[in-house]
């Protein structure tokens, strides 16, 4: 099933073009890594898909399910500061992912609530369901937000830089969770860091103002160079590794 189709999409801020004539199709079962340098337009493409920005030109179309309903997209936004003391429980954070389906009005049904419980178990944070979101560690918080993105049972899950602020252990667990999720849900994973990604994803889209789709998860230096993707790689056998820049406090 076709979930999403971008045809010749262009967009920019003021007079500056950020993405130029981008084409991309996402189908059920896909697991696409969208990689590319910072400022290359990855987040812009996500915002266009989520309807937060309107394209300058081009056509963006969404698929239709077999039962005639519009496809549903789950979204894990890029990490941003929020009020750690905000009064909302982990359980309510997960349920809030139903906002687009519920239009913020109808009450949560028993099914919604049991689905939330199920997801919290799957994410490994069920014992924290009544805690305030601010009490959680970075990795636990990201699981809660992943649960929020998944509760509407989306056809496509979009994750914008999901591992930037979490530790290595969680990064590893996250990829296993995503592999499991991918059994029923297409995934579009955005990252500026292609370190571990390649062994989990199926295909790669390289974005640097334009988008180059590579229908395989094997990345080599040649491929990235030919696509004008300035990411440094050295290769050990078949597994590509990134040459890391200087560490920051978060690494």
Partner 1 sequence: MISLFTYTFFNHALLTAILGSISCGLIGSYIVTRRLVFITGGITHASFGGLGIGYFLGISPLVGAAVFGGLSAFGVQYLSSKQKLRVDSAIAMAWSFGMAVGIIFIFLTPGYAPNLMSYLFGSILTVSVSDLIVMLVLAGISTFIFITFKRSIQLISFDEPFARSQGIKVDVFNYILILLIALTAVIYIRVAGIILVLSLLTVPQNLAIMITRNYNKILLFSILFGFVGTIAGLLLSYFLDIPSGAAIIFSLISEYFIGWCIIKLGSLTKVKPS
Q: Which is closer to partner 1, CB of 110 or CB of 130?
A: 130
Q: Is 199 in the site for partner 1 (CB under 8 A)?
A: no
Q: Which is closer to partner 1, CB of 134 or CB of 195?
A: 134
Q: Is 82 in the site for partner 1 (CB under 8 A)?
A: yes
Q: Which stretch binds partner 1 (CB under 8 A): 62-70, 77-85, 163-171, 194-202?
A: 77-85
- How many Å is the Cα radius of gyration of the chain? 18
Q: Which is closer to partner 1, CB of 41 or CB of 97?
A: 97
Q: How far apart are CA 33 and CA 214, in angstroms?
A: 10
Size of the site for partner 1 (CB under 8 A): 27
Q: How far apart are CA 30 and CA 118, in angstroms?
A: 24
Binding to partner 1 by CB under 8 A, coded x per residue (else -) over 13-52, reads -------------------------------------xxx
Instruction: Give CB contacts under 8 A, 24+ apart, made by 20-26.
Output: 20/209, 20/210, 21/58, 21/210, 22/58, 22/207, 22/210, 22/211, 23/211, 23/213, 24/205, 24/211, 24/213, 26/2, 26/156, 26/186, 26/188
For partner 1, which residue of 10, 17, 23, 96 counts as binding (CB under 8 A)? 96
Q: Which is closer to partner 1, CB of 89 or CB of 217?
A: 89
Q: Which is closer to partner 1, CB of 20 or CB of 132?
A: 132
- The helix-helix angle for 168-181 and 138-150 (nearest 10°) equals 10
Q: Which is closer to partner 1, CB of 73 or CB of 174?
A: 73
Which residues are bridge partners to 206 per DSSP?
35, 212
Q: Is 92 in the site for partner 1 (CB under 8 A)?
A: yes
For partner 1, which residue of 8, 100, 109, 199 counts as binding (CB under 8 A)? 100
Continuous segment of H or E residues that includes residue 4: strand 2-13
Query: What are the residues binding partner 1 (CB under 8 A)?
Result: 50-52, 75, 77, 80, 82-83, 85-89, 92-93, 96-97, 99-100, 102-105, 130, 132-133, 148
């Amino acid at each position: 099933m076709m979930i999403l189709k971008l045809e010749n999409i262009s967009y920019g801020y003021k007079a500056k073009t950020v993405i130029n004539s981008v084409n991309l199709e996402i189908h059920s079962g896909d697991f696409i890594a969208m990689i590319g340098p910072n400022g290359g337009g990855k987040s812009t493409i996500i915002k266009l898909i989520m309807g937060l920005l309107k394209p300058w030109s081009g056509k963006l179309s969404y698929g239709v399910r077999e039962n005639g309903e519009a496809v549903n997209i789950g979204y894990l936004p890029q990490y941003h500061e929020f009020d750690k003391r905000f009064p909302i429980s982990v359980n309510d954070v997960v349920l809030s992912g139903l906002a687009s389906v519920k239009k913020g009005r109808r009450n949560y049904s028993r099914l919604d609530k049991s689905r939330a419980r199920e997801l919290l178990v799957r994410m490994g944070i069920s014992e924290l369901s009544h805690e305030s979101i601010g009490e959680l560690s970075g990795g636990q918080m990201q699981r809660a937000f992943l649960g929020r993105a998944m509760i509407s049972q989306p056809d496509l899950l979009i994750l914008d830089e999901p591992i930037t602020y979490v530790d290595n252990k969680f990064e590893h667990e996250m990829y296993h969770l995503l592999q499991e999720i991918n059994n029923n849900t297409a995934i579009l994973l955005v990252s500026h860091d292609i370190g571990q990604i390649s062994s989990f994803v199926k295909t790669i889209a390289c974005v640097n103002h334009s988008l180059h789709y590579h229908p395989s998860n094997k990345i080599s230096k040649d491929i990235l160079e030919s696509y004008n993707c300035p990411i440094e790689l050295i290769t050990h056998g078949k597994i590509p590794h990134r040459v890391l820049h200087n560490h920051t406090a978060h690494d």
